Amino acid sequence: MSEYLDDMGKPPGKKPPNQVDHLYKERDEVLAVVLFVTRSSIRPYNPRNNHWLIAWELGMYGTNPIHRRIAVVQEAGVDHLTNWGPLTKSASNATVTKTIGIPLKSMTLEERQKLEEIAVNTPVLRPDGEWNCQDWLISVFEKAEERGIITNEEWSAAVEEAMKVTE
């Protein structure tokens, strides 16, 4: 039986990551929501080690895009994933060059807010050597499908493409 981490895996005493949501606000317009796949640097290469997140662009800071992101991450010194909830952050040029964007769906502000609500409430499993950010995102997609935010065809096609990302 799967066990979930307390408080979405947030390490006690650790502050949430810095973000720029006060500078880059959500807009009440339809935006492209993308499944981003960051290629793993672990060798030998295995697509299960790639990092997945959902994001939509809110603006640019110089040459770096500012995204609203939904993901679980592994914090330094912690042996499990953490769900901090949606974050507005910039992507470095190094990250951008290692990342592939797979279109998921164009969504209204209301749909994105519902997606964020699902993500905030999707728990994180205790480490088992198998479950990872990809499994967490698939569970978010499944719940979003149940709520009519995205179709099975839309998210399944994106996941299929994500699994094909290679070195």
Residue whose entry in the numeric block shows the structure tokens 């981490």:
5
Cβ-based neighbours of 121, under 8 Å, separated by 6 or more: none
Residues of the chain with pLDDT > 70, as a percent, come to: 98
Number of domains the chain is built from: 1
- Tell if the pTM clears 0.75, that is, is over it: yes
Position 1 in a domain: no
> Taking residues 130-158, what's their average pLDDT?
97
In whole angstroms, give the CA distance from residue 146 to residue 150. 8
Q: For 38-77, what is each residue's pLDDT tens digit? A: 998 888 888 999 999 999 999 999 888 999 999 999 988 8
Cα 89 from Cα 55, distance rounded (Å): 10
Query: Does a structural domain hold residue 150?
Result: yes
Look at residue 94 in the predicted model and tell me its pLDDT: 66
- pLDDT over 60 at 1, yes or no: no
pLDDT digits (tens, 9 = 90+) for 96-121: 778 999 999 999 999 999 999 999 99
Does residue 144 belong to any structural domain of this protein? yes
**Dist. CA 123–CA 41, nearest whole Å:** 27
pLDDT at residue 167, as a whole number: 73
Domain enclosing residue 27, as ranges: 6-163
Residue 5 has pLDDT above 70, yes or no: yes
In a domain, 36, yes or no: yes
Residue 20 lies in a domain: yes
- Sequence-distant (6+) residues with CB within 8 A of 103 are 32, 34, 35, 158
